[in-house]
Chain A
Amino acid sequence: MSIAAETKSQVAEIGEKYKYGFVTDIEMDMAPKGLSEDTVRFISAKKGEPEWMLEWRLGAFRRWLTMKEPDWARVHYPKIDYQNSYYYAAPKNTPLKQSLDEVDPKLLETYKKLGIPLHEQMALAGVAVDAVFDSVSVATTFKDKLNEAGVIFCPISEAIRDYPDLVKQYLGMVVPVTDNFFATLNSAVFSDGTFVYVPKGVRCPMELSTYFRINASETGQFERTLIIADEGSFVSYLEGCTAPKRDENQLHAAVVELVTLDNAEIKYSTVQNWYPGDENGLGGIFNFVTKRGDCRGKKSKISWTQVETGSAITWKYPSCILRGDESVGEFYSIAIANNYQQADTGTKMIHLGANTRSRIISKGISAGKAQNTYRGLVSVYGKAKNARNYTQCDSLLIGGDCGAHTVPYIESRNSTARIEHEATTSKIAEDQLFYCLQRGIPQDEAVSLIVNGFCREVLQQLPMEFAVEAQKLVGISLEGSVG
């Protein structure tokens, strides 16, 4: 039985409920199971990479062998057997496509089920899509318009070949190869991802969007994203994903690096909807992500917005290094954990420059038997005079078996810094629900309405294209959570 057919029957056995739980039957080009230097070489060769890139990967791999998996997060999961996983899977025979017509119709069908009609919708919405199917980018649209503006938006594998100087200069600059266990693993085996460069003074003419999707059984997904906003430029990047249903836990360890030079701004929005596992906590994605932005230039700004509804385990702290004077970092987060999901997420705001400002708005929602932790660090260094931070952490509990935890770390080495922290924990009150019901709003919709209200400040930060989808997702992920 082929792997695809096997998972297909598994999916059928597990049953429905997860809307995006289907598997596309496309032959996979797999790396041998397990992780060794050979695996790294295999991946690098598959991507047709130059020697320097292979060396970079091998350096990371050797480093990784000496590292220990971190255990400080409030998440519990069975030990991951890194030798029992595949590290590369690509749809077969996919030289870069010139147009969507060349794309496997089955693949396009998959996107359609996900509600991503590449053909029409993207044109209408003015969104360029670098669609990642498993590990290889298959179709890229809107290249011309972006070319005109001088914006580079391409698979990172392509950037390694075509823009080696930019990649060499910035790759691993924000998240060093040695940064942490999962980031180092990613550096060794990343399969593909997205590269964006916005030149000086350019306002990117459209929202950039990538859809990630895991579609091969037991294949870790290691995305690598690098976005550089040169002086005075602006770009808004949307990342969203849904994954098919599985009963094997799947490892996902992405690395995202953002760099803003003087007066540049990056707005990075994520809707994360990986398969969270079933009602009994079986299956689901392990999501260990390292996302970090470097506000390198003066008056530059990086804004993270995330809606995290999926994954069995979420380990994720999109952070900002506020290096440039007067730079601004923002983190807006909604983390929803239902059933047996565990989320440990938050941010780090590292104030290095003078007059730097940061703002953290975190909304955690726990239901079922889920555990939801906000973990954040605000650190003001000695030279960061007049640094400002405002942090607001709100937790909402649905039912009596879930947990919400807030772990804020605050360090200040400058007496002129001003740091504010507010935290609340609340429950959906019975009288709120009754009020909605009495006005004719059914229970699941009432929960969705109340939770969306709770998350409003964050949802407002999302670009329009995502806001509607995110609101629906909030409702869907909490369906049936109230008795």
Chain B
Amino acid sequence: MLDIKNLHVAVGGKEILKGLTLSIQPGQVHAIMGPNGSGKSTLSYVLAGRAGYDITGGSITYNGEDLTALKPEERAAKGVFLAMQYPVEIPGVTTMTFLKTALNSQRRARGEADLDAIGVLKLVRAKAKTLNVSEDMLKRPLNVGFSGGEKKRLEILQMSVFEPKLAVLDETDSGLDIDALRVVAEGVNALRDPSRAMLVITHYQRLLDYIVPDRIHVLAGGRIVAEGGKELALELEAKGYEHIIKVPA
């Protein structure tokens, strides 16, 4: 589904990703682990198409298509979703309005009819319940005054409403206590699907206790330096990044 080959990315003229190669099949959950500054967030932004992240080499193929040729909103309509590390606030725009606008923008781009207000309401309410997102949160302006846990739950709610084909979760565990982490992880696990691929980016092994990946990649210095099954996470936890980075598996 997603094929990244020898990807080089520069930000402000400085090379951050230096030949990253990665491939994910539908139904798989992959984890990217790595120390701070290794290029994890850069990877997530490049996949989503954020401006200012210049691809200087390599390729990203998504369902046989050159992903880099698509605008960010086109990628979203084609099923690319990025759960952000720092979800932004949009004052005055209620969460429900935002969800409706986004959902219908995606549907329109795919040539589908708009869902009316009641349809969206029903859909969102049903999904919100399982993620412990209150009715009140849906009425409040998007992310304004939300706690860290509320913001992350809302990201997962959006993922569940948009039903993406490729979901990238950028440090979704950061800033969460253990209870919030569990709710978020359960939400993610409920979305595991044979047709859906997920890329879970995290600094800590902790999240992977709850979201068990099929494969783990260790990113350091802009490259994948180690790969393995879920046991790799435990090794990292025990020995630290330095050990792995120095002695590639």
Contacts and interface: CB of A to CB of B under 8 A. Distances in A.
Bound pair (A, B): yes
A395 to B, nearest CB: 14
Contact of A440 (B84, B92, B102): B102
Contacts of B81: 438
A4 interface: no
A438 B73 CA distance: 6
Contacts of A73: none
Interface in A410-450: 429-432, 434-443, 445, 449-450
Interface string B103-120: 101100100000000000
A438 B82 contact: yes
Chain B, interface residues (CB within 8 Å), range: 20 to 34
A449 B88 contact: no
Contacts, number: 76
Interface string A437-475: 111111101000110111111000000000000000000
A440 to B, nearest CB: 4
Interface in B32-56: 48-51
A398 to B, nearest CB: 15
B142 to A, nearest CB: 8
B91 A454 contact: yes
B213 interface: no
Contacts of A432: 88-90
A450 B102 CA distance: 13
A422 to B, nearest CB: 14
Given A435-B84, A445-B101, A449-B98, A440 B90 contact: no
A150 B91 CA distance: 44
Given A452-B92, A456-B92, A437 B71 contact: yes
Contacts of B19: none
B158 A439 contact: yes
Interface in A261-314: none
A438 B92 contact: no
Interface in A339-354: none
B76 A431 contact: no
Interface string A337-371: 00000000000000000000000000000000000
A55 B93 CA distance: 54
Contacts of B148: none
Nearest to A439: B102
A434 B75 CA distance: 12
Contacts of B62: none
B88 A431 contact: yes
Interface string B126-158: 000000000000000100000000000000001
Nearest to A442: B73
Contact of B90 (A430, A445, A450): A450
A3 to B, nearest CB: 43
B101 A449 contact: yes
A431 B89 CA distance: 9
Contacts of B92: 452-457
A440 B76 contact: yes
Contacts of B98: 439, 449
Contacts of B82: 438
A433 to B, nearest CB: 9
A439 B162 contact: yes
A460 B130 CA distance: 32
A412 to B, nearest CB: 31
Contacts of A449: 90, 93, 97-98, 101
Contacts of A429: 88
B73 A430 contact: no
B72 interface: yes
Interface in B229-247: none
A450 B144 CA distance: 13
Contacts of B93: 449-450, 452-453, 456
B77 interface: yes
B91 A440 contact: no
Contacts of A437: 49, 71-73, 76
A27 B125 CA distance: 58
A438 B72 CA distance: 6
**Which 4 A-B residue pairings sit nearest by Cβ, starting from the closest?**
A453-B92, A440-B76, A453-B93, A456-B92
5 contacts: A438-B49, A438-B84, A440-B73, A440-B77, A456-B92
Interface of B: 48-51, 71-73, 76-77, 81-82, 84, 86-93, 97-98, 101-103, 105-106, 109, 141, 158, 162
Given A441-B101, A453-B91, 18 more contacts: A429-B88, A430-B51, A432-B89, A435-B90, A437-B49, A437-B71, A439-B102, A439-B105, A439-B106, A439-B158, A440-B73, A440-B106, A441-B73, A445-B105, A449-B98, A449-B101, A453-B92, A454-B92
